[in-house]
Amino acid sequence: MLADKRITVTGGKGFLGQHLIRKLSDYSCRGIEIVDLPQYNLTDQADIRRMFDVTKPDIIIHLAAKVGGIGFNQEKPAELFYDNLIMGTQLIHEAYLRKIEKFVALGTICAYPKFTPVPFKEEDLWNGYPEETNAPYGLAKKMMLVQSQSYRQQYGFNSIFLLPVNLYGPGDNFDPRSSHVIPALIKKCFDAIDNHSDSLEVWGTGRATREFFYVEDAAQAICMAADLYEKSEPVNIGAGYEISIKELTELIARLSGFTGKILWDSSKPDGQPRRQLDTSKALKEFGFKATTDLTTGLQKTIEWYRQNRHLLNKK
């Protein structure tokens, strides 16, 4: 599917996008175009049309999103809902009008109901409301699934919808205002070491569990789905295991070299109680299985941060 095609990747300058671009280079594409801010504002319909005119894609992989951690979700729920909804809606519709060959939409695990049975199966996606702090973002992204299935049913438009779990890896977002849990914890550990602090504070109780997906594995999964998967049913992509935030924090502290005390601020929310995906459909439909274990992935991420944090701190 991807060989000799023109691929446009929205959000291609972002964390996942940079890794995806490198993976796509293995697929003999005719061209790979990156679409991102500030050149294109994908909430603006005129910019979307200009993007199609300039890049002339055969296939679009839509990664662009406004996203952050629990604090950012609480601070910016309206922006998270509107920006993500309008980007997906306009892109899919314009792609249909222009008769592109395939649209690959990236959803989010935040679309799942708050109390989904573990491991999360794709058929459970509509069995309840998402966890409240994630709901505006999760529901906005989930509307791409509704649109994808509707457009295939009525127009025969070829689009697919992937549900990645929490990503991490080299090049992640370490900005404390919007970072997710792994980069936030890594930065806290290094800052505590720099400040000769004997403790660090972490939000929540530590009891919530999460699944974490190494970014290079995620890029491989997206490439394989774009190349091989041709159905409208959503597909989970992830590593297929869970770890408590307490265990994760202790592991990151050990790998980072922080030996002080970890203090839990239980007045802050945990977010969704548990997260772990059933990833059997990805293996069955397009042969994907994650290969990077958490400790190895964290070691690579911590080493990347160690080597680049002086540059990040200048921003």
Q: Are 232 and 149 in contact (CB under 8 A)?
A: yes
Q: Based on the residue annotation, tell me whether 137 is a catalytic residue of this protein.
A: yes
**Which residue is it, tokens 């290079």?**
216
Tell me the C-alpha to C-alpha distance, in Å, between residue 119 and each of 32, 112, 124, 276: 35, 11, 10, 5
Token pair in block for residue 134? 């994630």
User: Within 10 Å of residue 237's Cβ, how many Cβ atoms?
Assistant: 28
Locate 312 and state its tokens: 């990040």
Tokens of 215: 């970014």
Q: Do residues 94 and 49 make contact, with C-beta atoms less than 8 angstroms apart?
A: yes
Phi, psi of 34 (to 5 degrees): -100, 130
17 to 54, 84, 148, 280: CA distances (angstroms): 19, 17, 21, 25
Nearest-angstrom CA–CA distance, 272 and 289: 25
Rounded Cα–Cα distance for residues 302 and 184 (Å):
11
Q: Let me know: does 299 contact 214? Beta carbons within 8 Å.
A: no
Nearest Cα to Cα of residue 18 among 215, 183, 200: 215
User: Using omega within 30 degrees of 0 as the cis cutoff, is the peptide bond preceding 119 cis?
Assistant: yes
202: left (phi over 0), alpha (psi -120 to 50) or beta: beta
CA 29 to chain centre: 23
Question: Which one from 137, 168, 214, 305 is the annotated catalytic residue?
Answer: 137
Q: Which residues are catalytic?
A: 137
